Each structure stands twice: as C-alpha cells, then as structure tokens.
Structure 1
Amino acid sequence: MTSPLFLFSISGLICLFVLSLQRKHLLMSLLTLEAFILSMAILIPMSIMFQNQVNGMFAIVLLTMGACEASLGLSLLVLMTRSYGNDLLKSITKNLC
C-alpha cells in the first residue's frame, strides 16, 4: 500500500511536468498551477502531521496564497483576452512595437 505523502508528492511533480509542457494557452498554465498549489496544500500539513508538529495555520496561509494567485491569474487572463482576443501566449510577442 502506498503512502499518501508519496501520492501527493508524485501529483505535485506531475503538475510541474504538465506546466512545463503547457506553453500554448495561459488558462491551462493557470489550471496546472492551481493543481500544484492544492497538492502542496495537502502534502505539507500531512508531512508536518507525521512529524507530530501539528500547525494548522500554515495550511491556511498556503491556501490563502493560492487564492490570491488564482485571482491574479484570472485577472491577467481577462485582461489578455480583452486586449488580444485570445489566451495564446505567443500572441503577446507578436504585438511588439
């Protein structure tokens, strides 16, 4: 039987791998960043719990930073879609003056 710590660490590594592959659309990059933050929000408190140092405040701070990252990413996505008409990352470099 596999450990939950192992599963969440593997999911974090998979998210980083997918993030390195998703360079076409900004929305897919933001979704993989959110999946990474959620896997780390579960992994870090679980690893602290196995060391008998329960600190619930750290998980709350991590989830708060993840929510801030999500709101900034969505605002950038909306701004980019309104300016360029799509969320393709290569359309940013085409419109240089």
Structure 2
Amino acid sequence: MSPLIIVLSMGLFLFFFSFISKRKHLLSTLLSLEGLMLIFFVLFYFLTSCFTSTFTLMLLFLVLTACEGALGLALLVSIVRSYGGDQFNSFNSLQC
C-alpha cells in the first residue's frame, strides 16, 4: 500500500471524527465538512489518474462540492441573521 493512501486515509478518519464529534458552532462543522471534501477530492484524483485519463467526474465532483459550500454558507448567514449566532444551543430546529 502506498504511503500516500495511508496518509490520506488517516486524514480522512481525522476529519470524519471531527465532523461527527460534538460541535458547538455551525461554522466549525462546515469547515470540517469542507476539509473532508478536499480529502475525498485528493483521493479521487489519485485513483482516477492511476486508472483512467478522463477527469470529467472530478470536475463534476468539484462543482458539487462548490455548490455544497455555497449552500452551507447561505444557511449560516440566514441562521446568524435569524438567531444572532451560529451556536447550536441558541436555536431549536423543532420550533415552528
């Protein structure tokens, strides 16, 4: 096994663990999610460069990741405007 794959899998585990761990702020959760997507992109890049020469799926993955980031930031802005902060304990999503 390549050392690059070992490092990427360890980084993937650390970002996944930080994503599912108990967070107090929405921004830190969004940053962990973006880091996870970056690790997926690097791993996907090395896997596609070894087996095939088409990078269309990588471009689609980058577009979807950028859309996910924009949607997360839009939600963050609307939550900060509505509740005054991005702490999870300051708002309740079950209220109507």
Q: TM-score range by the shorter chain?
A: 0.7 to 0.9
Q: Deviations over 1:8-54 (max 9, x none)?
A: 2221111110011242100000000000001101101202323x223
After TM superposition, the structure 1 = structure 2 runs for residues 1-97 of structure 1, keeping only pairs within 5 Å, are: 3-50=3-50, 52-93=51-92, 96=95
CA RMSD of aligned residues (A): 1.9
After the TM superposition, which parts of structure 1 deviate over 6 Å for at least 4 consecutive aligned residues?
A: none
Q: What CA distance in whole angstroms lies between the structure 2 residues aligned with 1:57 and 1:94?
A: 38
Question: Structure 2: any 5+ residue segments left out of the alignment?
Answer: none
Q: Normalising by structure 1, report the TM-score.
A: 0.86
Count of residue pairs the alignment pairs up? 95
Deviation, 1:82, is 0.4
Q: What CA distance in whole angstroms lies between the structure 2 residues aligned with 1:23 and 1:17?
A: 11
Structure 1, 68-77 or 53-62: larger mean CA deviation: 53-62
Aligned identity (percent) is 32
Structure 1, 85-94 or 63-72: larger mean CA deviation: 85-94
